[in-house]
Structure 1
């Protein structure tokens, strides 16, 4: 169950939606005192708040809860990884934009470090699996350019050697979701409602963001055209 991530969510599937959701945190029992200290320096009190938004509320826990309520079993069972990870990353920024943490500069600083991690994940995955990036090059990218602690970087190297593509899904999904929100907000202007956007977006289950965009933009375009015609 430990897998290759420090924290994760084990959510029930659509055939048992009322089952428990488990928030998994990998213990540090396999690390030396020096490795444990390095790891905990990475996950300080500010970073942990962002991690909790990502994994729990309104990140993975909320999104997967909504997915189980979707009328389409196909969209719930055949989940799109970029949509799932993208939503969790989007939730981090959205929460801080809406005032979580009272705009504390330390929290925003850690958010931007976390955001840099998402981008570095994409570069790392592509670099290793397409361009033949070495371990030394990967560690330099993560520690010197993304400012990660040594233990975090070492764990990420292990993760990228045991997986492929998944590390790219975070930024890819986030970018699509954020751009969709901005496009709808631009079209609707003062009529845009953030809560309504979230409810509608999550109602489609874990479908690819491109398909969700098509479904959400069609009525927005029609509304904008009707408003323009009436004017």
Structure 2
């Protein structure tokens, strides 16, 4: 019962049902029914929520985006609110909200702290900009590992990998996405190739990304080859 109350409060404050369901470990369908009153009707503190009504596309939008609104949309989205929910709540077209949140538009808007000063350098949850994605792609092409880029920009590894490899930011083509190494049916390394990779690592000090690119395998594979060689040397 307390779980239902808490879910209703969070959805009322902008969180998405799907996000909460994943966090709680229940199905989105079951949580949606509880939040909107198809089930758990007897819980009235808070009462079931009304489903958000989609904005009328034939009516002019009552909201005009400004920098403060864009920041608020990005914070709410980082907190779990879906783009669809935020668009409906704001009375704005889905694509307008999506592009503002992702930095396709309003890319100059940075997060600000309560005192109006610029927030700390990028941290988990802060949205990427085209300039940052371009910088990461160029650095990865030159040999920087995805893990080091995640640490440098204070971002999650999965976020960096998706942006660099083009799972996200597909529209950014200058520079283009960096394909993942070792994918698309490439053969596994032979024993001789593994030995060559280890020697290259020891002599040149190349990064695992550089080793992977040189031998046509992933960064992770290069790491595993070197790590296995180190373990065997200790035995």
TM-score, structure 2 as length reference: 0.28
Tell which structure's C-alpha radius of gyration is larger: 2
**Bigger relative contact order (CA 8 A; separation at least 6):** 1
TM-score, structure 1 as length reference: 0.28
Higher-helix-fraction structure: 1
